[in-house]
């Protein structure tokens, strides 16, 4: 396995463990055992646990961005593109491994004590806001619709994680339809 492949394997393993159990509850020895990598090798690739956490968050950002963009690209009308965000959420919430937004989870665990984690979480959320703002602009809707739609998506993620059901995606989608239709008047 190449160094790049091994690094990616460790990041994927860390992501899975952190997302399922929480960052604080997964030690480097847990990661070493699960990834099948000697501890010395693990530390030669990543100088600290925080370095791994930051790479996991960067990976999560790419997965989120690619996933939501791909879902939006499956429809053509500007209104449907806005609503496709919530369809993406519905699919994500239905996945057995869904445990909420990895950025919200990481921020809750480490944001107050690890400024880099807090910064990556903020950048991720700002990126999503820009994405929704672009969709709103393409729809010719007022700019203030974008933060409203983004808040619905963020709230749906938190609600779904806590409730353990997918219903929040449909509820947020229906609320988004009302907001989009009101903005079109």
Q: Give the tens place of pLDDT for each residue, 133-145.
A: 999 999 999 999 9
pTM confidence score: 0.94
Signed CA dihedral, 14, 25, 98, 71: sign only: negative
Helix axes 49-72, 115-138, angle to 10 degrees: 10
Radius of gyration of the chain (CA): 18
Query: Count of domains in the chain?
Result: 1
d(CA 184, CA 178): 10
pLDDT in tens, 112-157: 999 999 999 999 999 999 999 999 999 999 999 999 999 999 999 9
What residues make up the domain containing 159? 3-184
User: pLDDT digit string (tens) for 78-93?
Assistant: 999 999 999 999 999 9
**What is the C-alpha to C-alpha distance for residues 89 and 157, in angstroms, rounded to an integer?**
8
Q: What is the DSSP string of 25-90?
A: T--HHHHHHHHT--HHHHHHH-SSHHHHHHHHHHHHHHHHHHHHHHHHTT--SHHHHHHHHHHHHH
CATH of residue 68's domain is 1.10.357.10
């Amino acid at each position: 396995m190449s160094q790049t492949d091994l690094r990616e394997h460790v990041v994927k393993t860390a992501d899975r463990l952190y997302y399922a159990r929480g960052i604080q509850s997964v030690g480097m020895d847990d990661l070493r055992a699960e990834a099948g990598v000697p501890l010395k090798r693990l530390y030669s690739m990543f100088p600290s646990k925080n370095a791994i956490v930051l790479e996991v968050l960067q990976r999560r950002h790419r997965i989120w961005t690619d996933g939501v963009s791909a879902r939006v690209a499956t429809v053509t009308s500007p209104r449907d593109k806005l609503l496709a965000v919530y369809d993406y959420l519905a699919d994500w919430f239905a996945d057995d491994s869904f445990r909420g937004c990895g950025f919200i989870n990481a921020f809750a665990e480490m944001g107050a004590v690890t400024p880099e984690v807090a910064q990556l979480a903020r950048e991720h959320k700002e990126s999503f806001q820009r994405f929704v703002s672009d969709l709103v602009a393409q729809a010719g809707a007022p700019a203030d619709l974008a933060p409203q739609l983004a808040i619905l998506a963020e709230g749906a993620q938190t609600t779904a994680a806590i409730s353990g059901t997918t219903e929040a995606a449909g509820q947020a989608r229906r609320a988004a339809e009302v907001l989009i239709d009101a903005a079109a008047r």
